[in-house]
Structure 1
C-alpha cells in the first residue's frame, strides 16, 4: 500500500493508520521481513503522524546503534532470535526480542480523551482536561504516558501544594489526570500501573465546611425576598424551598415551572445552555412555600423571555458564577459565617430529615446519588409522595 502523505511512514487500512518502514539493505540480515509494519491504533491523521514520525526517529537511532550492536526500539519484534541468525555471539541481537508497546504522549492522550469522551460535554469539561494535564506537562514534561514515574506524580503534587490549592482542588485535578491517562492507555492497549493513582496529600487541607442555614434564618431571608420582590430574590426563594443547585435554578425555562399541573412542580432537566451535574440530577421537585411564590412571580412578571432568569442566560451558557457572586454578596450580612447559597441545599436535607423523610425520597428530591443496584429500577416516587414530604418540611 502507498504511504499516506498526510502522515509520513504510514498507510491506512479500514480507516486505521499503520506504521510502515523498509529495513535498510545492510541491516536486512537482522530481520525476518524486509519491512516493519504495525498498527498505530488510531483513526486520527494528526495522532498517526505524530506516532509515525516518532517511531521513524527511534528506528533511525536504533539502526545507527544496531550497526554497532546496541539498543532496543521499534521493529524489534521482527528481529531474528539469537540462535537463528548464524552470527557470532558478540554480533547477535538481544535474545529476548519483544514488541514495543504503542504509546502516546500526554498531550496526545488529552486529544484522544476529548475526541471520544468530550462529545456533547460542556466547554468546562475540555478546559478541565487541558488545564489539569497542562499542569503535569509544565512540571514533568510531555512524556509518553507509560514513562511517567511515581517521582513525577509526587513532584506534581508538591507543585500543586506550592500553588496553595485546597485538598479538594488537588483531588479534582489528579482525578482528571488519572482519567485521561487510563482512558488513553486502554485505547492503545497499554497495561501499566498509573503513577498518578495513589498519591498522598491532605484531602481536607484548606477545605471550608459548608454549613446548613438555621430554619429561622431561612424564614427571615424568605420574608426579605417577598419584600424586595425582584428576580434575584425570586432565585433565592426558589432555591430555598426546593434544595436545587443554584446552576440548576438559574438555567430554568419558564416552561420548566409547571404551575398548571395538579401538583405544581419544577422540572429539572438538561438544557444545551446548562448541563446537569449527574444523570440522577434530572428530576421533578414539588413547589411549596417560598419556591411556589417565586415561580408564580416569574410567570406573572417575566413576559419577554422564555428563560425564568434572563439576566443569567444572555449567552449560550448559563452564567451561574455571576449568579453565585451576586447572591452570596447579598446573603453575607444575613447568614452565619461560611453560609452561602449552597447552604440552602444542605439545609433542605436536614429539614427533610427533621420530618423523618425516608432517605431514598430525600435523595430523589435533591438529585443525590442513591446507593444500591435496586435504586436504579423503576421511575421513583410519584409527585404526590414527594409533595407530602416537601409540605411537611416547608
Structure 2
C-alpha cells in the first residue's frame, strides 16, 4: 500500500492534501497564497523507490503537522523548527553562511509577526525565536527522542524482540520521570530517581543494572554524536544493596498447591492454562514452553516428549538448554489440547518471552 503517489508520464509524483490548520507552514515565501495540496516530483520512474520516497515524505509531514498542533507557547519545538525551515528550502545556519540570500528575507517577512515600519517588532514566541536562532546558526536543541532515534539509526539498538521489550520498559520509565527533555537538561537527579523507582518497585540489584545498561548507551550516543559538553548522568551510579548477593530464593509450590493450579487449568481450558499446565509437569522455563512449535512436539513417540531448541521466535538461555523433555500428567493433556489449534506454534496467542 503506497499512499499519495501519482504517475505522470514516466515519473512518479507526490500528491497530498494539506489540512487547513497547517497550511501556513507551506506558504511559499514570495506569495500570500497557502497551498491546499502538495504536488511535487519524486524524481524516479521506479515504483518501489517512489513508494519509499513517498513514505519518507509522509512520515516527515505527519511529524511536522503533529508538532505544530501540539506546540507549547512556553517552549520551542526543535523538530517543528527544522521542518518549518525545510518547507521553505532553508537549512540550519543558512542565514549565517549566506546572509545575502533573498530567500531568507522572504521567509522572515511571512514567518515573523507583521508590524508597521514605525512600530516596534512584536515579541517572538519561543517557537519563532528557536526557528530564527537555528536559521542563524545556533545549536539545535537535541531531545532524548533525538538521541534514541540516532542510536537506532547507527545500528546500536536491540537486536531481537526480547531486547526491544527490555529496552522499551527501561526507556518508558525514563520518559515517565523526565518527559522528552533536551539532553543538556538531563541531570544526575534524574538518573538517581530512575534507580529509586526500580528499587521501590522491588526490582533486584542485577535487574536494575540491566535497566541502566539499556538507557546509558543511548545517552552516550547523544552526547558524542551531538557534540555536547556534558558528562553522562547515568555513568557510575550506585545501585543499593548490589553487594549483598542474590535475593532470597522463592519458595517452591507444594503438591497441594500444584493440584489446585492444575485443576483450575482443566476448568478454564484455554491457551494460558495449557501453558501453565505444561510448566507444572515439565519444569521447563516459561519462554521455552511458550516458544514451542508444533514440530517440537512428539506425541506418537513411545514416551511423548517436547524438543526444546532455538527457533525464529526465541532462543535459549544456554547451549545446554537444548533438550528433550518427557510429557507426563497435565503436561501431556495440555500438549494434546494445544496441538488442536491452528498455526505452526503451540501457543500462537501468547507473546514469546525470548531468552529466559
**TM norm structure 2:** 0.47
